[in-house]
Structure 1
């Protein structure tokens, strides 16, 4: 992973477009598509409106996350088409596993990435230049607009930076790309990952599959879990984690003075290197010879302990972009709204 030249800290002057090859798309279509995904995922897919997207997870029977995803409906009819955006490295295995449970359901799963393009848009100025294709922009996080140019999603902001994704055909994206570059710069796709970290949005990777129940990475706090929707793999474990006792592990934002931090690395209390107290969920170089990270950790170590990598670099806690529950003993400042 190469070093980036990025503004530090992230601020609302960041603006531009990037191609997001780190994600892949699976479409589920057919009269049973919504019912099928309702029985497999952590969120309420049946109630998802055609102008909304949502986060969701796919768990093992033990409630451990195999995948994190972004989901939206292209239509709201008897034959729903539902799009699932997942980290590209998880797409093939996830699609095969879901296919195992289709059985007699009238649903078809299709890998649509070969014919699709995903573009990331950072900054309100860049988004305003999309009027040629989207005269009306989605306003609130997880709202979307569909038209002949594709799907435009509004995602959670990152330190005041408006964030959007444009999903369209590869052919349409290639035609539009020169016009986009004429109005805003092209950004490395790692910048998008960096913005995801500062928005507090985790992504499961191959290195972290089956490591976390959803609450460990704040998934219920950002709308990725619905506790009223009914059964799915791991549902009893996830519900028990929610309602019995306090959450003893949470995900927090940190800066580490190493540019080689990566997903799946363990972190340790400096006075006990014999066993880890947490794990890096996601990390990106920050352009200042360090990395900005989302770290899952035992909350008891957030108040007074010094936490570090096995190589000695210390985790410096940063404010989270959304409030954590009162029982999280974070030593960082919490946002007030």
Structure 2
């Protein structure tokens, strides 16, 4: 089934005219909300939606309770994720919250199983707005909020676009400050969690992105596409690069290389997946780096020094 291109209604929202550094300061000092235009919303519609997704996803889905959000993956037969998403219950089935760039591929792949489970798919990205809140207790009327996993208390909200516009206008008596999605990405970097865009799908096994440590994989749920490869990597090892958090003065963006100085020579250490400007004006980023480069000097592609920041979690698997 082909997906219908969605209208990006986020473009109709008021502009945020403060600098990214100023927004990052607000992120640390006040309650904020962030429209997330890069996120799409896919409805799997039908009574057997949970059964369909449970059979394909890396996380348990059938026992997902109302009001809870879970992080999960869809992987190729080679065990490489082509979609990462949050999933929540919906009166008509399940909602997948995922990068817009991966929505079409996700729908196409899952639609292969739709006739068996009598499900249909609808792109709701032009109807349901996705909003990030930097405090999980930032409750807003007419917004369905779901706590996010991680070391900081954050939540994802779903609402009508009219409600999101009202947040900007302050007409709902909210004292929340708007900050951009780029600034919201600082919270993803702090938690060292990544949602894969289409440009990075099918490139990594989940353990390279620390998904075994962030609750995206259940090692008890049974079979799903790619499960044997993922289990082999977990129990037999062989993973030689992982998602890391870094900070530096230079610029870096998704797709840029991180360089390592090894015995005086430059060599590729890894690739940047996400970056943002923090309250001090420095660049924070997430990059997949080779393990053997972590003790060596690391640089941006334009030779600016980078410093590793400790992960907020251990790399052992969560027992789910």
TM-score normalized by the length of structure 2:
0.83
Aligned residue in 1 for 2:215: 223
Please give the alpha-carbon distance, in whole angstroms, between the structure 2 residues aligned to 1:188 and 1:310: 26
Please give the alpha-carbon distance, in whole angstroms, between the structure 2 residues aligned to 1:20 and 1:196: 12
Q: Which of these residues, 73, 82, 88, is aligned with residue 100 of structure 2?
A: 88
Per-residue displacement from partner, 1:66-97 (whole Å, max 9, x unpaired)?
1211111135xxxx611100012222232223
RMSD: 2.7
Aligned residue in 2 for 1:122: 134
Deviation of 1:287 (Å): 5.1
1:284-299 equivalences under 5 Å are 284-286=276-278, 288-299=280-291
Please give the alpha-carbon distance, in whole angstroms, between the structure 1 residues aligned to 2:112 and 2:138: 43
Residue segments in structure 2 that go unaligned for 5+ positions in a row: 1-17
Please tell me whether the aligned partners of residues 207 and 263 of structure 1 are also in contact (alpha carbons under 8 angstroms).
no
Please tell me whether the aligned partners of residues 71 and 84 of structure 1 are also in contact (alpha carbons under 8 angstroms).
yes
Please give the alpha-carbon distance, in whole angstroms, between the structure 2 residues aligned to 1:283 and 1:174: 27
Aligned residue in 1 for 2:242: 250
Change (3 A) 1:151 1:96: same
Change (3 A) 1:309 1:5: closer
Please give the alpha-carbon distance, in whole angstroms, between the structure 2 residues aligned to 1:181 and 1:263: 37
1:233-244 equivalences under 5 Å are 233-244=225-236
Change (3 A) 1:96 1:312: same
Aligned residue in 1 for 2:254: 263
Deviation of 1:288 (Å): 4.2
1:175-254 equivalences under 5 Å are 175-177=166-168, 178-179=170-171, 182-245=174-237, 247-254=239-246
Please tell me whether the aligned partners of residues 21 and 277 of structure 2 are also in contact (alpha carbons under 8 angstroms).
no
Per-residue displacement from partner, 1:167-207 (whole Å, max 9, x unpaired)?
01223433454235751222122111111111111121233
Aligned residue in 2 for 1:154: 147
Please give the alpha-carbon distance, in whole angstroms, between the structure 2 residues aligned to 1:181 and 1:270: 53
Which secondary structure does the structure 2 equivalent of 1:324 belong to? Answer: coil
2:309 equivalent to 1:318: yes
Please give the alpha-carbon distance, in whole angstroms, between the structure 1 residues aligned to 2:59 and 2:297: 36
Change (3 A) 1:289 1:308: same
Please tell me whether the aligned partners of residues 197 and 293 of structure 1 are also in contact (alpha carbons under 8 angstroms).
yes
Please give the alpha-carbon distance, in whole angstroms, between the structure 2 residues aligned to 1:187 and 1:321: 24
Change (3 A) 1:8 1:183: closer
Change (3 A) 1:274 1:59: farther
TM-score normalized by the length of structure 1:
0.79
Aligned residues: 298
Per-residue displacement from partner, 1:97-145 (whole Å, max 9, x unpaired)?
3223434321111101111112222236xx4563xx2xxxxxxxxxxxx
Deviation of 1:246 (Å): 5.8
Which stretch shifts more, 35-44 or 91-100? 91-100
Aligned residue in 2 for 1:24: 40
1:298-313 equivalences under 5 Å are 298-302=290-294, 304-313=295-304
Deviation of 1:250 (Å): 1.9
Aligned residue in 1 for 2:158: 167
Deviation of 1:240 (Å): 0.4
Which secondary structure does the structure 2 equivalent of 1:92 belong to? Answer: helix
Please tell me whether the aligned partners of residues 7 and 14 of structure 1 are also in contact (alpha carbons under 8 angstroms).
no
1:72-83 equivalences under 5 Å are 72-75=88-91, 81-83=93-95
Residue segments in structure 1 that go unaligned for 5+ positions in a row: 134-148, 327-337
